[in-house]
Structure 1
């Protein structure tokens, strides 16, 4: 476990790392043609940039947040002001602070773009008048992770509460069981990093220990180290929501690949080509886990390789920024990323306020 950073420093680092990743992605977002990305931004993007005319987020400025950052900030404020996750308060904020700014089309709202999952939740809630237990759609993307990472930080030492709150918040916009499983798993990983555990080949076994103790709601029949169950062993009671623990196992495989001298992705930004450039959660998470393990003590390298890989580089940078920020702590994030971030003082205040609520139990 890490001894060089404090719990509060790691918690604040995770949150600010996510905000920084979001703002870094604002300019060069969603270039699937890497030659076009290099033509517009050069061989290496090293900081915040303006979106180009005719591209996503046109009209916004370098260092500003996209809608993902806007929603993360909304979530963070709710957690800080309520002292924890309050679903009614969170939903009220969506209805009062976000939904009036949307019109149901993609190119609209804070940040200049509204994701599929949020558009669908807006349609079901505002246009159809459905209750909040019926607003989740089938988008297979990472938008729920991009906001629930704040919930995961808050409950880092309370995995049972973490899993419950993250799952409940996820299904407000994404009702797909696989997406919910992978979202909760990311939150559980982030929680362990905030606690000081390493993102390495042993992390998944620690997550599986939480499954076996009933603190994470995943179903598992194997014995220790994924060995077969004993003959005649009864089916274990359902631990909760998710049929498979595989989402908890994958982070350590990516970490093992990052540490294996016989497996090299060079340059590291090409992780986007190895795991995929599209938006789906099953492309984003492996790349973020790999980069966060490989550059566990180097925030700048991690987020910039996430960014320069193109495609859905904003989500990749948010997730990587959170995972690496939780390892380096806020104190390990280079000052220039804070200086160039719009609203940095307010975001830091909110992040440090939530970090002060994270207590070892």
Structure 2
């Protein structure tokens, strides 16, 4: 009988799932021409692949991490060494370990590519000499979400601390308020999954309960199940809160779509066409939520459909991998020979 997963199992599974998703996308990253993707890697990618000459991450080898994976690892190391989120330590690691390897250009740096928000932070921090807190840019990507997922895992049982730490860390590199709100919402969802909840039609109601209790900093005026507020109810304060809870509501609607027999996206990788292949956060989160909800007990299918969808498939696979892998019951999933040989032993 398969043992029930523990909190530690789920935390480990979410983190390793993100790393696997990152490495799986290294070769086929950012193909917007899906015919070319198929010509280079075949109709269905199932393993780590080496990037082609002239493509993103060229020179890297199959199974290595992109810079997203490098930043996630840096975040994990800081959390472990400091026994929690320590912003000064995190920033010091960027200053000492990452920034000296950058030159401000995209096709450079650890992992073979540096994202827009990290390039902007490097320019303002290194070239202009500005302090942390003044070097963020307005990129609308999931760059911060791909590293703060480690913070979400660490604070899964402390939602208020989770929201605060993720918000502060995101703001180091991304300033757009909607991006920060969506990143914190994703972290709150992941925290609930690590806690032991399910990504289903009920998860948004559970998140909203935490808004009402003051644990999650989102503004809302509704009562009950998104009903009209009483006529005499004063509006809750808006200071220090994101302007709406909509980013917390999306996961349940997407989970409903993923399980609705009247809604068909087949093969599932085409969810990337439904929500969009590009990098922006509003393309990436919906597709990741969909794949994680549809393949809630099938990590392999979730990440492989994320990879084979093309475009910004690396972010899609990192996020879906984090949301899905914990559902494999117990630590025993690590010892499945096919997974160990393909994705753990061969990862770098």
Task: Identify whether the pair has TM-score above 0.5, normalized to the shorter chain.
Answer: yes
- State the alpha-carbon separation in 1 of the partners of residues 85 and 332 from structure 2: 26
Structure 2 CA distance for aligned equivalents of residues 328 and 147 of structure 1: 22
- Residue 106 (structure 2) aligns with: 106
Cα RMSD for the two superposed structures: 1.1
**Greater RCO between the two (CA within 8 Å, min separation 6)?**
1
Query: Which residue does 1:231 correspond to in 2?
Result: 231
Q: Which residue number in structure 1 is paired with residue 159 of structure 2?
A: 159
- TM (normalized to structure 1)? 0.93
Alpha-carbon distance between aligned partners in 2 of 1:134 and 1:92, rounded to the nearest angstrom:
15
Count of aligned residue pairs for this structure pair = 340
2:179 is matched with 179
Q: CA deviation at 1:338?
A: 1.1
Q: Describe how 1:230-269 pairs up with structure 2 within 5 A.
A: 230-238=230-238, 240-269=240-269
Under a length normalisation based on structure 2, what TM-score does the superposition of the two structures give? 0.96
Question: What are the ranges of 5 or more consecutive residues in structure 2 without an aligned counterpart?
Answer: none
Instruction: Indicate the SS of the match to 1:224.
Output: coil
Deviation at 1:31, TM superposition (A): 0.1
**1:107-166 CA-partner distances (Å, limit 9, x unpaired):** 110011000000000011111111111111000000000000000000000000000000
Asked if 2 retains the 8 angstrom alpha-carbon contact of 1:219 and 1:240, the reply is no
Greater than 2 Å deviation, 4+ residue runs: 237-241, 326-336
What is the deviation of 1:236?
1.3
Q: Which runs of 5+ in 1 are unaligned?
A: 343-361
Please give the alpha-carbon distance, in whole angstroms, between the structure 1 residues aligned to 2:222 and 2:134: 35
The equivalent residue for 1:290 is: 290
Alignment of 1:136-147 (within 5 A): 136-147=136-147
Match of 1:346 in 2: none
Q: Would you say 1:339 and 2:345 are equivalent positions?
A: yes
Q: Would the aligned equivalents of 1:18 and 1:319 in 2 still touch at CA under 8 Å?
A: yes
Using the alignment, how far apart are the partners of 2:4 and 2:257 within structure 1?
A: 25
State the match for 1:10 in structure 2.
10
Secondary structure, counterpart of 1:106 in structure 2: coil
3-state SS, counterpart of residue 90 of structure 2: helix
Q: CA deviation at 1:239?
A: 6.9
1:353 aligned partner = none
Name the CA distance, whole Å, in 2 between partners of 1:92 and 1:23: 26
1:142 and 1:328 map into 2 onto residues whose CA distance is 25
| DSSP-derived class of the 1:189 partner | helix
**Residue 264 of structure 1: how far off its partner (Å):** 1.3
Determine the structure 2 residue equivalent to 1:83.
Answer: 83
